[in-house]
């Protein structure tokens, strides 16, 4: 087994938290994006990563312990958000629902730093940031029935036909994610790419454990509780139609 890569700066997220993730024989839905980390983002990561950050290394994760210092009930619901960009919408949803823990997973170091900076600035103790492959997080680190929800907002649409296999919302991924959801949990996806919305609807509808919250065959406009994201505004400016899909775990 190879060793995980060390952080780019002391106390920060590892560059490759799972030492053998790159050797797994499966399609990658993302590639690590380090980018330029600002001084404020780096300071936030160095100050809070030890307590608020999780490197996705394959070790089982105790969500109760992870959110132990948050002002949440003992049976706190925890929602997993995969891909949060710069974290503005995630922080807004955390502020609007302080009783829910949000485990936000991404591989974009500047975004990780910005979300932690927003959490610190706004006193949001109900956010934890996970760094690495969400498949490994779901498969190896989270217990069955441990999540109260899954959010996937504006994942890469991979518009070219030959790249469709790289889309995140596929039957295998959904089956894995659903196995980690408790009964009554919500799966909420959003995209501004209509062909991908159609695929999402087809895949989610086909899962026997999910029920469309808005009736069979329907997506819906953005609900008020989901803040508009930067990617969403960019898509709307290009004339794209945004679809939200909300399903409930049986």
Phi (first) and psi of residue 82, to 5 degrees: -110, 115
- Catalytic residue (choose from 88, 97, 140, 156): 156
Active site residue 62: no
CA distance 205 to 4: 38
Strands 147-153 and 78-82: parallel
- CB proximity list for 43: less than 8 A, separation 6 or greater: 117
The tokens for 25 are 């024989």
Which among 49, 59, 52 has a CA at the least distance from the CA of 14?
A: 49
DSSP 3-state percent helix, strand, coil across the chain (nearest 5): 35, 20, 45
Which among 191, 125, 179, 183 has a CA at the least distance from the CA of 154?
A: 191
**Burial call 205-214: b when 16+ CB within 10 Å, e when fewer:** eebebbebee
> What ranges in the chain are assigned the alpha helix state H?
39-52, 63-66, 88-96, 109-122, 134-136, 171-179, 194-206, 230-237
Catalytic residues: 156
């Amino acid at each position: 087994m190879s060793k995980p890569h060390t952080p780019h700066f002391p106390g920060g997220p590892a560059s490759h938290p799972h030492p053998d993730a790159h050797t797994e024989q499966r399609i990658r839905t993302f590639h690590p994006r380090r980018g330029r980390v600002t001084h404020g983002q780096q300071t936030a990561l160095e100050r809070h990563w030890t307590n608020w950050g999780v490197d996705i290394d394959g070790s089982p994760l105790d969500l109760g312990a992870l959110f132990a210092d948050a002002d949440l009930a003992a049976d706190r619901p925890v929602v997993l958000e995969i891909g949060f960009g710069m974290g503005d919408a995630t922080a807004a949803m955390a502020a609007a629902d302080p009783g829910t823990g949000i485990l936000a997973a991404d591989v974009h170091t500047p975004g990780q730093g910005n979300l932690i900076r927003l959490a610190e600035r706004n006193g949001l103790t109900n956010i934890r940031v996970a760094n690495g492959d969400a498949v490994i997080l779901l498969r190896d680190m989270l217990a069955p029935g441990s999540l109260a929800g899954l959010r996937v907002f504006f994942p890469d649409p991979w518009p070219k036909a030959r790249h469709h296999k790289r889309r995140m919302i596929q039957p295998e991924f959904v089956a894995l994610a659903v196995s980690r959801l408790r009964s009554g949990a919500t799966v909420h996806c959003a995209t501004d790419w209509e062909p991908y919305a159609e695929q999402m609807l087809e895949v989610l509808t086909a899962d026997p454990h999910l029920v469309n919250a808005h009736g069979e065959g329907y997506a819906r406009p953005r609900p008020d509780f989901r803040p508009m994201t930067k990617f969403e505004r960019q898509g709307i400016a290009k004339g794209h139609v945004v679809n939200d899909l909300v399903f409930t775990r049986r």
